Structure 1
Amino acid sequence: MLVLLPPSESKAAPAKRGRAVALEDLSFPGLTDLRKQVLEALITTSARPDALELLGVGASLAGEVARNLTLHSAPARPAHEVYTGVLYDALDWPALSPAARRRGASRVVVISALWGALRPGDRVPSYRLSMDGELPALGPLARHWRTELPGVLTEAAGRRGVIVDCRSGPYVAAAPVTSFPTGLADRTVAVRVLRESAGKRSVVSHLAKHTRGEVTRYLLERGADPSSPAELRDLVGERWPAELTGPARAGAAWTLDVVLRA
């Protein structure tokens, strides 16, 4: 099983001490050259007078953009400590059992606009960059990563087990399921969260992030390794109402609807 997560826009406050990021030590070394390109382009962009506009953020985040200038020297920490958003609060990495953390170290991959793909233990600094943006020197970030990321994820997924896709739209665009080999697409399952009230269902946003974090936590704690979308549905269905829908077209992912009932 491989679980694909988005990062969070919110990051932990920069560490006060510690060694800086070492690109050669990060997982997926095939991404090193692309990482260097994005890192240098982000630093250059963040130094510009129009940096906030280029990075698509408001004045309240000017301090975070300014910190991008120190990415070469800023203290790094494990990715599971850097990301602090709703999904990661629900995942609650520190409270996972030791066995679940061991599973997560090899089964979870975070897709990042700056780093491409990370394992939870990869040490990186806090940064400000979103996958739905672009950098003047590189263009759209999703297109930049799409040249290598699908192959990296294909290798990470191995020959068996499902790919549990909890990514949000911009991060899916960096490695769309349609770019996966046929065999891998056939065992990729996108997790969607629906709220059901008075017999009507609607897609939710904030609760979707929280629920995807809970689903990831549940799968890691259970220690199961489902080999098919149907096995994943049955496993998740032990905790939540879950419904599986086949691919809408050839090369697309399955969809697992997790239903939250009011």
Structure 2
Amino acid sequence: MIAVLSPAKTLDYETALPPVTPTRPRFADEATTLAHAAAHLTQKRLSELMHISPALAKLNADRFGDFDTLPERPAMFAFAGDVYTGLDAKTLDEAAVDYAQDHLRMLSGLYGLLRPLDAMRPYRLEMGTRWAPRQKKLTDWWRDRIAKLLAEDVAAEGSETILNLASQEYWAAADGKLPAGIRVVAFDFREGEAQKFVSSHAKKARGMAARWMLEHRIDDIEGMKGFDTDGYAYDAAASTDAQWRFVRR
């Protein structure tokens, strides 16, 4: 089973790293192409495209302009935010990190598909961005390349199953493009008796579910029904074959 997460806008390039050996992103050349193209966008255009402040637009314009010289960091330890608070990668033991390299993937607007130890440079480019070189939007630029690589990883792992813990925006890069025979199960996290959806809680729960999978070395999707971190429990009555609901009462 391969679990898939969204990336995060918030990045951490300061916290001390555990002793890991970075790997090269499989779409490193594509990332460089995109970054060099984005370097030609004005700060005003970046602000409009990303719906960000002028200060953030300048930060990201500088990042694209200096992309080739920026520091690198393994992706699982570079992303921060709610999902990665739940994952808490820095406290995983060595065996769990090794397991993650084979069983966890992160979708990325710039890097396409990242393994946990793939060395990435700081950036901000969301998959839903309505810009790309010679295309109207980023998902058109990536075409089916992300889905093909993800399918290769699933085939190598052997389970023919993907645990989709990504947002709809990022899953759109693979949705409808995977070969027949790959099963995809998405998790839906809810709160209380009313089973209310709370975005920030759901994001953190996605990271916690990924961590639970890594810690317990889950390789069969049925084993994920036991996920119980922070009081969440599988709700069979509210689940379907393609979407499983977990509720924290």
TM range, smaller chain: 0.7 to 0.9
Structure 1 residues 75, 232: CA separation in 2 closer, same or farther (over 3 Å shift)? same
Q: Are 1:260 and 2:245 matched, yes or no?
A: no
For 1:123 and 1:32, the matched residues in 2 are separated by 9
TM-score (norm 2): 0.85
Q: Displacement of 1:203 after TM fit?
A: 1.6
The one-letter amino acid of 2:77's match is E
1:92-126 per-residue CA deviation (whole Å, 9 max, x = no partner) reads 11101221111011111110000001111111111
Aligned to 1:140: 137
Check whether the contact 1:10–1:83 (CA below 8 A) recurs between aligned residues: yes
Unaligned runs of 5+ in 2: 16-21
Deviation at 1:48, TM superposition (A): 5.2
1:216 paired to 2:188: no
Please, which runs of 5 or more residues in structure 1 have no aligned partner? 16-21, 248-253
Match of 2:190 among 188, 194, 215: 194
Of 39, 45, 50 in structure 2, the residue corresponding to residue 50 of structure 1 is 45
Distance 1:57 1:218, change over 3 A: same
User: Which residue identity lines up with residue 49 of structure 2 in the other structure?
Assistant: L
The answer for the alignment partner of 1:18 in structure 2 is none
Which residues in structure 2 correspond to 1:1-262 (within 5 Å)?
1-13=1-13, 26-28=24-26, 31-32=27-28, 34-45=30-41, 47=42, 49-65=44-60, 66-135=62-131, 137=133, 138-158=135-155, 159-160=158-159, 162-176=161-175, 178-184=176-182, 187-197=183-193, 200-226=194-220, 229-233=221-225, 235-236=226-227, 240-243=232-235, 245-247=239-241, 254-261=242-249
Deviation sequence 1:112-168 (CA, Å, 0-9, x none): 000001111111111121111122533211222233111111111123153111111
User: Match of 1:241, SS?
Assistant: strand
| Contact 1:35–1:114 (8 Å) recurs in 2 | yes
Match of 2:18 in 1: none
Task: Give, in angstroms, the shift of residue 86 of structure 1.
Answer: 1.0
- Identity among equivalent positions (%) equals 25
The superposition leaves residues 12-56 of structure 1 with CA deviations (integer Å, 9 ceiling, x where unpaired) of 2579xxxxxx9xx6343xx455434322222222x4553322333
Q: 1:34 touches 1:145 (CA, 8 Å); kept in 2?
A: no
Query: Paired residue for 1:19?
Result: none
**Contact 1:56/1:133 (8 A) holds in 2:** no
Q: Which residue type is aligned with residue 127 of structure 1?
A: Y
Size of the aligned set, in residue pairs, is 236
Query: How much is the aligned-residue C-alpha RMSD, in angstroms?
Result: 2.3
Amino acid at match of 2:144: T
Distance 2:132 2:92 in 1: 40
